[in-house]
Chains A and B, each alone.
Chain A
Amino acid sequence: MPYLVHTEEDRASMLDSIGAHSIDDLLVDIPESLRIAALDLPDGLSEYETMSQIASLAARNRVFPDRLTFRGGGVYRRFIPAAVAAVTSKPEFYTAYTPYQPEASQGTLQAIFEFQTLIAELTALDVANASLYDGATAVAEAAMMAHIHTGRNEVVVAGYLHPEYVEVLRAFGEGRGIKVRQGTTPGPKTAAVIFQQPDFLGLLVDAATLTENAHAAGALAIACVDPISLAILAPPGEYGADIAVGEGQQLGLSPSYGGPHVGFISCRRELVRRLPGRLIGTAHDKQGRRGFVLALSAREQHIRREKASSNICTNHSLCALAASVYMTYMGPNGLRQVAEVSFKRAHALAERLAKLPGWELAFPDRQFVNEFPMRVPKAPAVVRKLARKGILGPIEVQRWFRGLKGVVTFTCTEVNDAAALDELVAALEA
């Protein structure tokens, strides 16, 4: 049997030491009536047969080439440097446990400390945590922070926040009696105004005004941001937002049918005590050597138990590591280049698509970075036509927003080379 280590001799010797005849002697506490004869599962397979089965499942999926993927909606194809996998596949990183014994975990602790710094810098806020599960739960956790901080129990979602993030926010809120309202005007019961920048359709919102209005009502401003766009767009710290959250998948993680990805959260100094999840800080040993430790643990569930503000026990450490490697590899100039190339390609594509008969930008007065909505005739047929040509086309947003009939969103990143844009347009013109 695979992955088992004991031989029959080992078992016999161990039983002898214990003074038992068989392993069943050790299971005496289990009532007979509960004992089962066997699991209703097939027997195990060799590695060869296992991988054959797995590979045949993989082969039943269709993978669209990166360069012919024009679909976003929260998960994007990006160039992932080889360095990322080279680091995350090191067993010392991927098979390590949670760093509760800091002296034996300085690699993980330092790498994630760097992640916290990178996210804080990118979002221009004071402190970031060690990561969360995904963008959706990050939004929900930020809303919880605002609820605890203000004592208010309403959260206003302004504009097009990712619909799945809103669903998760509602599910989290229910357990704590928090109401979620779609709107633009915060009131006296509002704990926070949450907006996405760029929004789910890819469009830029007036983040500064939304933040101002939130503050005027005594509410917090929570910005859900695209990390790559922050290389060119004003970050939450520059327009006074209190908390920044988002999905870090674009920072070195493959789409992987939706997970595992990585959520990030950062905030102003005053709110740090409310941050959920893990936080890593510096500390020194008796010899004065600097090291890194899990900090402010008294916030967390294993100490506060039912008084914790969150039950999160983990972070997505390996995914945060991937994001760290990506951001370090890119540096500020590389990240800027990625964002600018994506911006330009998307704007060039938008211009060409708007020339197709019956096609138009859905919101021509609004700006975008590299994701944009088009209003098109017969959207489902468009997507099908592209699929037949091996192109993963735009998303039909009517699926979530009934008022947006015929609207589809296209995404363009640095992996969609100029020739790919030609192929897309040619396929649509045919």
Chain B
Amino acid sequence: MADRRYTKTHEWVVVDGKTVTVGITDFAQSQLGDVVFLELPSAGRKLAERESFGVVESVKAASDLYSPVAGRVTAVNDKLTANPELVNSDPYGDGWILKLELTDDLPSDLLDAAAYKQVTEASAH
């Protein structure tokens, strides 16, 4: 099982060679509430590390999505068009958002599960 890493802005990333899968965490989806829409880029778009690439919307909130890595978008989860609720029900599986091909090294400051847990405990109220 591939190792999952996290960002402070609540994205997760799983690395498989040069391909990287990105989504939002369980904590993020529970904070947002029921997801109703995602504004996502098209395949081919180049993203810089930490660049904002889209928005995830619920009825009461809209959060920007930030790319954890520098890469080129190779796939977008088009199931999310008709079923945005997959982000809530299966944030780490069927609710994945993007696949990217790395164009640079992985950032060194990606968090492991323990470090990310600390982030969520600090921000939960």
**A-side interface residues toward B, CB under 8 Å?**
297-298, 303-304, 307
Contacts and interface: CB of A to CB of B under 8 A. Distances in A.
A304 B52 CA distance: 15
Interface string B99-124: 00000000000000000000000000
Interface string B60-75: 1110100000000000
Contacts of A304: 62
B84 to A, nearest CB: 12
Interface residues of B, number: 9
Contacts of B59: 297-298
Contacts of A303: 60-62
A307 B64 CA distance: 10
Nearest to B56: A298
Interface string B40-81: 000000000000000001111110100000000000000000
Q: Is the interface of B mostly helix, strand, loop or mixed?
A: strand
A298 B84 CA distance: 15
Q: Is the interface of A mostly helix, strand, loop or mixed?
A: helix
Contacts of A298: 36-37, 57-62
Nearest to A303: B62
Interface string B76-94: 0000000000000000000
Contacts of B61: 298, 303
A261 B18 CA distance: 59
Nearest to B37: A298
Nearest to A293: B59
Nearest to B36: A298
A117 to B, nearest CB: 22
Nearest to A295: B59
Contacts of B60: 297-298, 303
Contacts of A307: 62, 64
A307 B61 CA distance: 12
16 contacts: A297-B59, A297-B60, A298-B36, A298-B37, A298-B57, A298-B58, A298-B59, A298-B60, A298-B61, A298-B62, A303-B60, A303-B61, A303-B62, A304-B62, A307-B62, A307-B64
A3 B62 CA distance: 42
A307 B59 CA distance: 16
A303 B62 CA distance: 7
A13 B60 CA distance: 42
Given A298-B58, A303-B60, 14 more contacts: A297-B59, A297-B60, A298-B36, A298-B37, A298-B57, A298-B59, A298-B60, A298-B61, A298-B62, A303-B61, A303-B62, A304-B62, A307-B62, A307-B64
A305 to B, nearest CB: 9
Contacts of A297: 59-60
The 8 closest A-B pairs by CB, nearest first: A298-B62, A298-B57, A303-B62, A304-B62, A303-B61, A297-B59, A298-B61, A303-B60
A257 to B, nearest CB: 40
A307 B58 CA distance: 16
Nearest to B39: A273
With a 10 A CB-CB cut-off, give which of B36, B37, B59, B60 has the most chain A CB atoms.
B59
A285 to B, nearest CB: 15
B51 to A, nearest CB: 15
Contacts of B58: 298
Nearest to B64: A307
A298 B36 CA distance: 10
A118 to B, nearest CB: 26
